[in-house]
Amino acid sequence: MANQFHPALLLFGVPGAGKGTQGKLLGEIDGFFHLSSGDIFRALDPDSPAGQEVNAYTARGALVPDELTIRLWKNWLDRQIADSRYNPAHELLLLDGIPRNVSQCEILQQHIQVLKIIHLASSDDQAMIDRIKKRAFEQNRADDADEDIIRHRFEVYRNETVPILKFYPSELVATIDPFGTPAEVLKRIMECVMPLMNR
């Protein structure tokens, strides 16, 4: 499929900040299309070559390599367009879990136009760790159950992902408090993104 620029919002934040929860809520609102790289990875057949390769990284809390991540993401996105699930002309693409580093930002410039970065900002690591462990229990997610792996993901996030905030112009970044009920956090996000819906 020919490349085209997709208007996009980035959901960004420390592990456990609620990117997935807010992404799903926003994805239910007309005009948004939520795309989670984590959901794409988890939907892979674990016995397929791609599934085994992705699991080799996620099982130890490491980032999936850029080339593999972008290839899986682009193939999945193209399928959504071909199947009429996503209409780039009428929906804002809401990216959750991608880009994960500056190299991915550079590659994605071929595919997306970033309109806003929603930064769910938390300085309380323990609160986020408690959220993740609760999620592991509720959703049977083994990658969220081991606290050593969780803490490694925080290190990877700070070393690899935080620099993204300096890659994009500061006026694109909206810092949002991730604490409170999902509805309260969603309201804060919507106050930032509603002006974009009338672009």
Q: pLDDT tens for residues 107-163?
A: 999 999 999 999 998 878 888 888 888 877 777 776 667 788 888 888 888 888 889
Domain 6-192, CATH: 3.40.50.300
Whether the predicted pLDDT of 80 surpasses 90:
yes
Q: Which of 199, 195, 139, 184 minimizes the C-alpha distance to 25?
A: 184
pTM of the model: 0.82
pLDDT band at 22; cut points 50, 70, 90 = very high
Q: For 169, phi and psi rounded to 5 degrees?
A: -55, 140
Map 112-140 to HEC letters.
Answer: EEEEEEEEECCCCHHHHHHHHHHHHHHHC
Which residues make beta-bridge pairs with 113?
A: 7
Contact of 43 with 149, CB cutoff 8 Å: no
**What confidence tens digit (pLDDT) does each residue in 35-55 have?**
988 888 888 888 998 888 888
Peptide bond before 163: cis, by omega within 30 degrees of 0? no
The three-state secondary structure class of 3 is: coil
141 phi-psi bin (left φ>0, alpha ψ -120 to 50, beta other): beta
